Amino acid sequence: LVDHGLELLSEEHCLELLQAEQVGRVGVSFGALPAIFPVNYKMHGGDILFRTGEGVKRRAAFEGNVVGFEVDRIDPVNREGWSVMVVGFASLMTAPEIDALGPVDISPWAAGERTNLVRIHPELISGRRITTRM
């Protein structure tokens, strides 16, 4: 089935877009229920890094589970934009891993202690450009 109006992006282009943005959305399952939430992230060595708090559910969700991660830039007025989708394993980074990283400039937005650093290692990367041109 041809999907007119959705141009597939190369993996290289997807990685460039991931490098350039700073806000993404993480998709996880809590039991059978899907959840999506925005995060402030940074790419590092091909992985997606973001900080999170001590939320029990959230923490459990990142213990080696497969998660989705999405970044997009959408212009509803001109009906144009793109989205990049990543699927990968998420893990909480250990203290030695964080030390080995060196300084990482990722602040969470929300105030309060968010010292956990989560890493998503991409296994699948796909992207599409949305256009109203046929």
Binding pattern for the stretch 33-72 against a copy of itself, x by CB under 8 A and - elsewhere: xxxxxx-x------------xxxx---------xxxxx-x
DSSP for 40-105, written as a single string: EEEEETTEEEEEE---HHHHHHTSS-EEEEEEEEEETTTTEEEEEEEEEEEEEPPHHHHHHH----
- Give the tokens for residue 48: 């997606």
Which residue among 10, 11, 19, 29 contacts a copy of itself (CB under 8 A)? 29
**How many whole angstroms separate alpha carbon 35 and alpha carbon 22?**
20
**In this chain, which stretch among 12-20, 43-51, 98-106, 124-132 interacts with a copy of itself, using CB under 8 A?**
124-132
The rounded distance, in Å, linking the Cα atoms of 73 and 81 is 5
Smallest gap from residue 133 Cβ to a copy of itself (A): 6
Whole-number minimum distance, CB 43 to a copy of itself, in Å?
15
Give the binding range for a copy of itself (CB under 8 A) out of 1-9, 10-18, 43-51, 91-99. Answer: 1-9
